[in-house]
């Protein structure tokens, strides 16, 4: 059996162990040279560089990302392929990133960094708190759930969640569904966190109408995908200070063009799709690889099937 695995995701001290644990498997690292692979372990973007029809022996694709909006999952499944993702691998890191973005605004980080440059000892007495606030998270999957879990430590008044089905989710005080529920959540919260997958239902979900429902003091945090927001509408809302600010890890498009107004707005904090960055990422992906590979070889269902 031949298995493709991107070498970037094999810890250096694990490579020899990998081969010794699976002596009957040939691990290869060049997709163009090895079109007879049975299993693919790698980033979604790698699939865009090949013609999947040429890989006649391919049976299982393990994506090394949680999102899969850039992969034709249904088309692959129709061809009889198993497709799984890395659903829980990035959740902890992204949840911490969400908190860092809230605190960036709440603790006046930008102002204090600018004051340091001029050696200005200038106090700021306007810091909001997460305590006793209302938090809304659109998307109650692994990222939303890990964020809610951590945000409970700040003792908010309530954590509200939005999802397709009205079922209770741990760490959320209330769950809302449907258009009416979405509108109610947006207009009720002090922090609106976008953590939903990108699909036909969520694409450009947050438009001028939805943004107009937000409180003027509310913050918007987007760690989902840039295309869940109509970016021109967001720019307009921020320019007119209709909301307190926006922390964006994702934009539409990416990279964000230099001429975008978002770069120059003082009430915006931008990170370059970096919320999932962690020194533990490679190790976690490799652990997922080992666990799922053992399941596959024993004819058991792998984790995180799509």
Whether 207 and 228 share a structural domain: yes
Whether 69 and 216 share a structural domain: no
Whether 104 and 65 share a structural domain: no
Pairing assessment for the beta strands 82-84 and 134-138 based on DSSP bridges:
unpaired
Whether 41 and 99 share a structural domain: no
Whether 99 and 179 share a structural domain: yes
Whether 129 and 74 share a structural domain: no
pLDDT at 255: 97
pLDDT at 15: 83
Whether 116 and 215 share a structural domain: yes
pLDDT digits over 66-98, tens only?
989 889 999 999 999 999 999 999 999 999 999
pLDDT at 95: 98
Residue 142 lies in a domain: yes
| Mean pLDDT computed over 165-177 | 97
273 is catalytic: yes
254 is catalytic: yes
225 is catalytic: yes
In this predicted structure, the answer to whether residue 126 has a pLDDT above a threshold of 90 is no
Our count of domains for the chain comes to 2
| Mean pLDDT computed over 99-121 | 97
Percent of the chain scoring above 70 in pLDDT: 100
Residue 77 tokens read as 């499944």
Q: CA dihedral in degrees (85, 86, 90, 92; nearest 10)?
A: 110
Residue 192 lies in a domain: yes
Whether 85 and 119 share a structural domain: no
pLDDT digits over 32-77, tens only?
999 999 999 999 999 999 999 999 999 999 999 998 988 999 999 9
pLDDT at 19: 85
Instruction: Return the CATH number at 27.
Output: 3.40.50.720
* Residue ranges in the chain assigned as alpha helix (H): 15-21, 44-47, 73-78, 91-106, 109-117, 142-151, 178-188, 208-211, 231-239, 281-297
Residue 149 lies in a domain: yes
In this predicted structure, the answer to whether residue 301 has a pLDDT above a threshold of 90 is yes
Residue 303 lies in a domain: no
How many residues can be counted in the chain? 306
Confidence of residue 181 (pLDDT cuts 50, 70, 90): very high
Active-site choice (87, 146, 163, 225): 225
Whether 149 and 203 share a structural domain: yes
CB 227 within 8 A of CB 197: no
In this predicted structure, the answer to whether residue 237 has a pLDDT above a threshold of 90 is yes
In this predicted structure, the answer to whether residue 157 has a pLDDT above a threshold of 90 is yes
Whether 245 and 106 share a structural domain: yes
Whether 96 and 214 share a structural domain: yes
Confidence of residue 13 (pLDDT cuts 50, 70, 90): confident
Whether 175 and 104 share a structural domain: yes
* Residue ranges in 189-242 assigned as alpha helix (H): 208-211, 231-239
- In which domain, by residue range, is 258 found? 91-270
CA separation for the pair 27, 21 (Å, rounded):
12
pLDDT at 110: 96
CA separation for the pair 104, 153 (Å, rounded):
18
pLDDT at 12: 83
Q: Which residues pair with 61 in a beta bridge?
A: 40, 83
A 10 A CB-CB count for 122 gives 9
Residue 305 lies in a domain: no
Active-site choice (150, 184, 273, 284): 273
Residue 53 CA: distances (Å) to CA of 11, 104, 294: 31, 47, 26
Residue 193 lies in a domain: yes
Residue 173 lies in a domain: yes
Residue 231 lies in a domain: yes
Confidence of residue 175 (pLDDT cuts 50, 70, 90): very high
Q: What residue has token string 């107009």?
A: 212
| Mean pLDDT computed over 247-251 | 98
Active-site choice (254, 266, 291, 301): 254
């Amino acid at each position: 059996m031949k298995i493709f695995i991107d070498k970037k995701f094999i810890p250096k001290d694990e490579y020899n162990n990998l081969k010794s644990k699976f002596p009957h498997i040939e691990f290869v690292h060049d997709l163009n040279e090895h079109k007879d692979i049975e299993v693919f372990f790698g980033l979604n973007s790698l699939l865009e560089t090949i013609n999947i029809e040429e890989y006649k022996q391919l049976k299982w694709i393990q994506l090394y990302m949680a999102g899969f909006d850039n992969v034709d999952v249904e088309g692959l499944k129709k061809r009889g392929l198993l497709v799984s993702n890395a659903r829980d691998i990035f959740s902890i890191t992204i949840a911490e990133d969400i908190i860092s973005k809230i605190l960036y605004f709440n603790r006046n980080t930008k102002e204090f960094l600018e004051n340091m440059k001029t050696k200005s000892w200038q106090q700021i007495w306007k810091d909001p708190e997460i305590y006793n606030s209302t938090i809304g998270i659109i998307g109650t999957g692994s990222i939303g759930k890990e964020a809610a879990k951590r945000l409970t430590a700040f003792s908010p008044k309530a954590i509200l969640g939005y999802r397709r089905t009205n079922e209770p989710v741990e760490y959320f005080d209330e769950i809302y569904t449907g258009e009416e529920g979405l509108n109610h959540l947006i207009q009720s919260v002090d922090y609106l966190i976008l953590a939903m997958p990108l699909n036909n239902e969520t694409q450009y979900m947050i438009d001028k109408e939805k943004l107009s429902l937000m409180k003027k003091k509310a913050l918007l945090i987007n760690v989902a995908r840039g295309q869940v927001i109509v970016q021109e509408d967001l720019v307009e809302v921020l320019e007119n200070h209709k909301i307190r600010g926006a922390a964006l890890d994702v934009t539409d498009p990416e990279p964000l063009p230099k001429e975008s107004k978002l770069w120059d707005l003082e009430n915006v904090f931008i990170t370059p799709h970096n919320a999932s960055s962690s020194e533990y990422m490679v190790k976690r992906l490799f652990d997922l690889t080992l666990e799922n590979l053992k399941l596959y070889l024993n004819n058991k269902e792998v984790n995180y099937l799509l």
